[in-house]
Amino acid sequence: MLQQKHTYKFLLLLSFLLCSTLIFSQSNKQEELEARRQELRLEIQKINQLRLENKSKEKSQLSLIQDFNHKIRVLDNLIKVTNQQANLISRDINNNQKRISSLRSELKVLKADYAEMMVKSYKSKNQQSRIMFLLSADDFKQAYKRLQYMKQYTDHQKQQGETIKEKTAELQAINLDLIKQQETKRKLIAENKEVQKSLESERKQHEELMKSIKRNLSVYAAQIKQKQQEADRIDAEIDRIIKEAIAKSNKKAGNTNVATASNFALTAEEKVLAANFVANRGKLPWPVEKGYVTLGYGTQPHPIDKSLTIKSNGVRIATEKDAKVRAVFDGEVSSVLKMKNVNPIVMVRHGDYLTIYKNLSEVYVKEGDKVSTKQVIGEVFTNPSNGETILSFSISKGTATENPASWVFKM
């Protein structure tokens, strides 16, 4: 019997721990989703703000398509995250409703038991009957046991009363929590309806724009190819300069195979810098204070003509007019590149890593300058014809490019 009692207690404790873990896990997930939802809302605000600033400018249709694609993607993500939140709250509501039902059943039993005890207690309140109960014992040992029983019965009565109070308070707290959850869910659903309307509007405008573009698709295809050729030319020049810098560092270090070296020969100080740079992977600040990514890293189909591809060695960030460019980490300016018909490019070296900032109008640093994290190194160029302010930003280890989204905080 005693073993069964211990087993029951163990199962009860295990059930409580599992329930607590589940609640904690759901709470953490809800916090993560809410943080992500706020990020997406903030990004939509940035997009709308930049659109408003450039409203008077006549954007190219290619740029408009990129804008629409990006905002549609963000709105889609916002709807998905909000739906996840609403579903999680629904599960919480169901769990709370089950807990309320269970507590009500427990309270019903507890109150019935307590009422029965109170009746018995009232009947036995007569002091004479208690004394007679003790005196009628066969011996002293039995009388002592009866006295202990009376004490335990009184203690149990008090404990039962306290348990009823605690369960009632718990029930009230869960009911309040349930009301809050239902209100939160209602707000999320209402917000999602507004986002759905916005998404439908964006998609409709996107479709109308695509119809007009497809009437002159060959013209746009030629423009896309020309832009990609220009991007490839700039990337090839950057690659050449990096290779030269690698060869120079290896020659200085006394390496014999300078021509085949693919990585920088690092000094002890540069090794520490590179290690610190790697340690901050995913935590680097954005190269501009405000902005959002309009084009991601890697080879991808063009949003207008799927048969054409865009090869992007970094990311393109739309930002505000006169936006300042910031170094994302401590380092040394390895090159300030100026090419014909190309806006200035700044390359900052962090040991064997480089961060590259393209499409600047002003440059505030020169080759050899030491820079610190978030130090302003220049200003982003604003296209006077369409009001676009786009920074192209990339990261590489030697000549091998890497995805900036893996390095920059919440990119």
**Does the structure show a pLDDT above 60 at 7?**
no
Which residues lie closer than 8 Å to 389 by C-beta, 6 or more apart? 318, 319, 320, 321, 322, 323, 380, 381, 382, 383
Class of domain 2-214: mainly alpha
Mean pLDDT over the full length of the chain: 81
pLDDT at residue number 53: 65
Pick from 108-117, 151-160, 237-246, 319-328: least confident? 151-160
Helices 217-252 and 140-214, packing angle to 10 deg: 120
pLDDT at residue number 260: 59
Which residues lie closer than 8 Å to 277 by C-beta, 6 or more apart? 329, 331, 350, 351, 353
pLDDT at residue number 317: 94
How confident is residue 114, by pLDDT bands cut at 50, 70 and 90? Answer: low
Which pTM does this prediction carry?
A: 0.63
Q: 46 or 293, which is more confident?
A: 293
Q: 141 or 298, which is more confident?
A: 298
**Does the structure show a pLDDT above 70 at 401?**
yes
d(CA 244, CA 246): 5
Question: Which of 191, 193, 199, 196 is closest to 70 using CA atoms?
Answer: 199
Which range of 9-18, 292-301, 390-399 scores highest in mean pLDDT? It is 390-399
pLDDT at residue number 1: 47
- What does the domain layout of the chain look like in residue ranges? 2-214, 217-406
Superfamily for the 217-406 domain = Glucose Permease (Domain IIA) (2.70.70.10)
**Does the structure show a pLDDT above 70 at 149?**
no
pLDDT (tens digit per residue) in 256-277: 675 557 789 899 999 999 999 9
pLDDT at residue number 106: 75
How confident is residue 8, by pLDDT bands cut at 50, 70 and 90? Answer: very low
> 382 pairs with which residues across the strands?
389
Question: Which of 322, 167, 403 is closest to 411 using CA atoms?
Answer: 403
Question: Which of 214, 194, 199 is closest to 68 using CA atoms?
Answer: 199
Assign 106 to helix, strand or coil.
helix
Whole-Å CA distances, 345 to 43, 204, 246, 368: 27, 38, 18, 15
Whole-Å CA distances, 322 to 50, 286, 393: 12, 16, 17
Mean pLDDT value of segment 165-172? 76
